[in-house]
Amino acid sequence: MSRDSAARPAVLIVGAGIAGAALALDLARRGARVRLVEAAAGPAAGCTGAAFGWLNMLMAPASADAATLAERRAALADWRRLDRDLRGATGLRELPALTWAARPAETRALARRAGARLLTRPAIAARFPQLRRPPALAALEPRSAVVEPERAVRALLTAARAAGACITFGLRAERLVIEAGRVRGIETAAGPIRADHVTLCAGAGSAALLTEAGLPEAAGALRLSPAVRLEFPSGGAGVPDAVISGPGFEIRPGGRAGTRFGFGSGLTGAASASDGPAAGRRAAAAIRAAFAGPLRPGPPAARIGLRPMPAGGAPILGPVAGAEGLGLLFAHPGLILAPRLAARHARAILDDPVRPPLRPPRLTA
């Protein structure tokens, strides 16, 4: 190993979802020696692979303050810059988006948060004639965007490899290596992997590693919420070339020709792949009821994802208290925020100046 490479910090990332991939690319481009390990045989095998892929302001939570909304807008701008930098490899596409809530007052509030335009029923029916029963009021975001999550992760990992990162699939992090109170790496079936810094970006896997390491407070803050993504074969003009989001469902053009992705969130009790068929039927029924067609009959392909939902809502980013050398990236909406949070975390690891985080640091030492 050259003196120059030995002087660069060795950073180990656990998890090849959108957060891990974005962090690997940012660190590698900043000169770190990066190793990423993923238990699955390929990337985006967990919640990222089941993500809907909508980059938007419309779904910002009602509790979001001005600073959080500004950070979300900045994250969307980061995605567009990243896609240009990778020459369109993430699959980002600009699409209009129409959203409404159960009550008009809630729709007005989300339109204010997003800076979106309000449409009344006649205008909605004229612009989106495919809707069976247009709502009385909806918010229109003319320049929303979608990405194909797995394609985006692959693009980030390809660029990270080109910048010098080492990516290994099919290798599970079994436990953290802790020496004198400092995390020095991970144990795997192939032996230990040592590093100057370890960052967990593995969703549910992060919680398991923290629990095994005797860090229950950190693990307890990593909560999960199930959601299902559906893939419909679509038969043509029955569903608009836009993101449509109503109570209980979202739908957008799929990444492959002739497909539509639907999404149903808040699936109480759906916590594993075995729950997919029932959850899929509920969301599919809401989507089919909303449009004149044609979505082909029969159940769509369903994939359950366990979304990261930090306790308290704020992203968890930074060092883990009680475990020097260990970092954590766990956030919702993870897909939207990942590139921005990864850049922030990379600067912190490499001791570059860091701007204030989205929220006061969580679980920091």
- Predicted confidence (pLDDT) per residue in 65-102, tens digit: 999 999 999 999 999 999 999 999 999 999 999 999 99
The string of pLDDT tens digits covering residues 322-331 is 999 999 999 9
Find the range with the poorest average confidence among 60-74, 294-308, 346-360.
Answer: 346-360
Structure-block tokens of residue 21 = 């991939």
pLDDT score, position 234: 64
Q: What is the mean pLDDT of residues 248-257?
A: 81
> What is the distance between the alpha carbons of residues 2 and 9, in angstroms, rounded to a whole number?
13
The string of pLDDT tens digits covering residues 256-304 is 766 677 776 544 444 455 555 666 677 778 888 888 765 666 667 778 8
How far does Cα 25 stand from its chain's mean position?
16
Structure-block tokens of residue 16 = 């090849």
pLDDT score, position 247: 87
pLDDT score, position 296: 63
Instruction: Give, in order, the Cα–Cα distances in Å from 35 to each of 21, 164, 265, 363.
Output: 11, 9, 34, 24
- The answer on pLDDT for 217 being more than 80 is yes
Q: What is the mean pLDDT of residues 209-226?
A: 94
For residue 152, give the nearest of 228, 214, 236, 92 by alpha carbon.
Answer: 92
Residues whose CB falls within 8 Å of the CB of residue 322, separated by 6 or more in sequence, listed in order: 181, 215, 218, 365
Give residue 163's pLDDT band: very low, low, confident or very high (50, 70, 90): very high
pLDDT score, position 358: 37
Structure-block tokens of residue 247 = 């109570």
Q: What is the mean pLDDT of residues 128-147?
A: 95
Residues whose CB falls within 8 Å of the CB of residue 106, separated by 6 or more in sequence, listed in order: 62
Edge-first strand listing for the sheet containing 10-14: 166-169, 33-38, 10-14, 197-200, 326-330, 316-319
Assign residue 236 a region: left if phi > 0, alpha if psi is -120 to 50, beta otherwise? left
Assign residue 191 a region: left if phi > 0, alpha if psi is -120 to 50, beta otherwise? left
pLDDT score, position 268: 41
Q: What is the mean pLDDT of residues 6-33?
A: 95
Judged by DSSP in three states, 14 sits in strand
pTM for this entry = 0.91
Percentage of the chain exceeding pLDDT 90: 70
- The answer on pLDDT for 134 being more than 60 is yes
The string of pLDDT tens digits covering residues 170-191 is 999 999 999 999 999 999 999 9
What value does the CA radius of gyration of the chain take, rounded to a whole number of Å? 21
For residue 48, give the nearest of 91, 16, 26 by alpha carbon.
Answer: 16
Length of the chain equals: 365
pLDDT score, position 298: 64
Per-chain mean pLDDT for the chain: 87
For residue 280, give the nearest of 259, 296, 265, 294 by alpha carbon.
Answer: 265
> What is the distance between the alpha carbons of residues 36 and 102, in angstroms, rounded to a whole number?
43
Judged by DSSP in three states, 239 sits in coil
